[in-house]
Amino acid sequence: MKIVAVALLALLPMLAQAEQVFIQPSAPVQAGQMVDADTVRAVLYPGRSCSLPLPDASRMHHAMVSTSGLREARCWASPLGDSITTISASGNQSSLPRSELVPARTASGLRFEVLGAPGQSPLDTPSL
């Protein structure tokens, strides 16, 4: 019994590090599937604040978006209609279709665990 308790305590830090995100995978995925970060086109972090020098950044969230093969830090706010707009520090904007975003959580080794199907979660983010 002590061994089980010690093992569970050892797992707590890993569980605490898991973060709920929304990913835009480059291929179809299923709930429970592990996805490598390098195969994901975009990651939205609803629990992280935007740290870019943008107007209203304090009311936005952090995102990482692949642009021309490079990862770029961006910010996003509440969904507008069927898409979510991300903005870079230089002011470049792009839209992500909500129907392609999949709920997931961060996992070890730069991977994501898929929690549901595309469009399954409404991205419940407070309106700005």
Query: Which tens digit of pLDDT belongs to each residue from 21-69?
Result: 999 999 999 999 999 999 999 999 999 999 999 998 999 999 999 988 8
The whole-angstrom separation of Cα 95 and Cα 90 is 16
pLDDT of the residue at 24 = 95
Q: Which two tokens stand for residue 36?
A: 């490598």
- Domain-by-domain residue ranges, the chain? 19-114
The whole-angstrom separation of Cα 27 and Cα 37 is 12
pTM for the model = 0.79
Q: What percent of the chain has pLDDT over 70?
A: 80
What are the backbone angles phi and psi of residue 54, rounded to the nearest 5°? -120, 150
3-state class percentages of the chain: helix first, strand second, coil last, to nearest 5:
20, 45, 40
Amino acid occupying residue 112: F
pLDDT of the residue at 121 = 54
Q: What percent of the chain has pLDDT over 90?
A: 62
